[in-house]
Chains A and B, each alone.
Chain A
């Protein structure tokens, strides 16, 4: 089991095997997802590495995902972000802030009836696209919203 988790965290190359194992009923998704903190993904400093770590590199742009965030954030320390995914069977939502030191901000696995909806508050170092990556039915989708951060909180 632990070995399986490790393999799972190593990402894309292993995901096929995991999917097969789930399909074969060897693993319940819940067991796989109760994983250790994904250090490699969260400490990635380059956007491309962070996207790769959550399998979001080739995600298709989708209008069914809504990223709600302010156009201008006066205080980068508290930026409210809502992600709504209208894609059926949304299994996971990842939030990536493209220009942050560690772009991957949060990963949410939705199970047992949880709806494709997450509301949170994030820190932003500077103006950036806030990107949501949604996994549904074995595919990845994405949408983003530009948020301007005004330093000093003068209201820009």
Chain B
């Protein structure tokens, strides 16, 4: 079960400023387990999709070089207070999570 995400969306003039925190280990697949000496399998978020009122605004693909517990900030023009923002991610092991909020 994926851990909860955090999101904050606020208006700055006519631009919505959206900040998202995800809980994810973002394992690169390059590290070795110090006890067994074996490589720890890669486990990282590959795709992150953001929508505003159901319309895609940001479609992103990530590598394992995004830091653990990823932060993502982006801005959308033409949004208004009350609009629904949804951010969802999917990782290379088939786990996924999403969060929705209204712009304040």
The interface size of chain B toward A, counting residues with CB under 8 Å, comes to 35
Answer whether A114 and B63 are a contact pair too, CB < 8 Å, given A101-B30, A121-B70: no
Q: Does B77 contact A (CB under 8 A)?
A: yes
Q: Does B96 contact A (CB under 8 A)?
A: no
Q: Per-position contact with B for A117-130: 1 when CB-CB < 8 Å, else 0? A: 11111111000000
Q: Does A113 contact B (CB under 8 A)?
A: yes
Residues on A with beta carbons closer than 8 Å to the beta carbon of B50: 114
Residues on B with beta carbons closer than 8 Å to the beta carbon of A119: 19, 71-74
For residue A124, which residue of chain B has the nearest CB? Answer: B65
Residues on A with beta carbons closer than 8 Å to the beta carbon of B64: 102, 123
Q: Does A17 contact B (CB under 8 A)?
A: no
Whether B56 and A79, one on each chain, are in contact in the complex, defined by CB atoms closer than 8 angstroms, is no
User: What CA separation (Å) do A111 and B54 show in the bound complex?
Assistant: 12
Whether A118 and B65, one on each chain, are in contact in the complex, defined by CB atoms closer than 8 angstroms, is no
Answer whether A112 and B71 are a contact pair too, CB < 8 Å, given A102-B64, A120-B66, A123-B28: no
Q: Does B67 contact A (CB under 8 A)?
A: yes
Whether A121 and B56, one on each chain, are in contact in the complex, defined by CB atoms closer than 8 angstroms, is no
User: What CA separation (Å) do A97 and B59 show in the bound complex?
Assistant: 20
Answer whether A114 and B57 are a contact pair too, CB < 8 Å, given A120-B73, A123-B28: yes
Q: Does B55 contact A (CB under 8 A)?
A: yes
Whether B66 and A114, one on each chain, are in contact in the complex, defined by CB atoms closer than 8 angstroms, is no
Tell me the interface secondary structure of chain A in the complex.
strand
User: What CA separation (Å) do A119 and B8 show in the bound complex?
Assistant: 14
Whether B72 and A111, one on each chain, are in contact in the complex, defined by CB atoms closer than 8 angstroms, is no
For residue B78, which residue of chain A has the nearest CB? Answer: A113
Answer whether A122 and B75 are a contact pair too, CB < 8 Å, given A38-B61, A112-B56, A113-B57: no
User: What CA separation (Å) do A105 and B67 show in the bound complex?
Assistant: 10
A94 to chain B, nearest CB (A): 9
Closest 10 CB pairs of A and B: A119-B73, A121-B67, A115-B75, A109-B59, A114-B57, A108-B60, A113-B78, A105-B65, A37-B46, A42-B63
Would you list 7 pairs from A and B whose C-beta atoms are within 8 A, ordered by A residue?
A: A30-B56, A105-B65, A110-B74, A113-B79, A121-B71, A122-B65, A123-B64
Known: A105-B63, A112-B57. 4 other contacts (CB 8 A): A77-B68, A105-B65, A117-B73, A124-B65
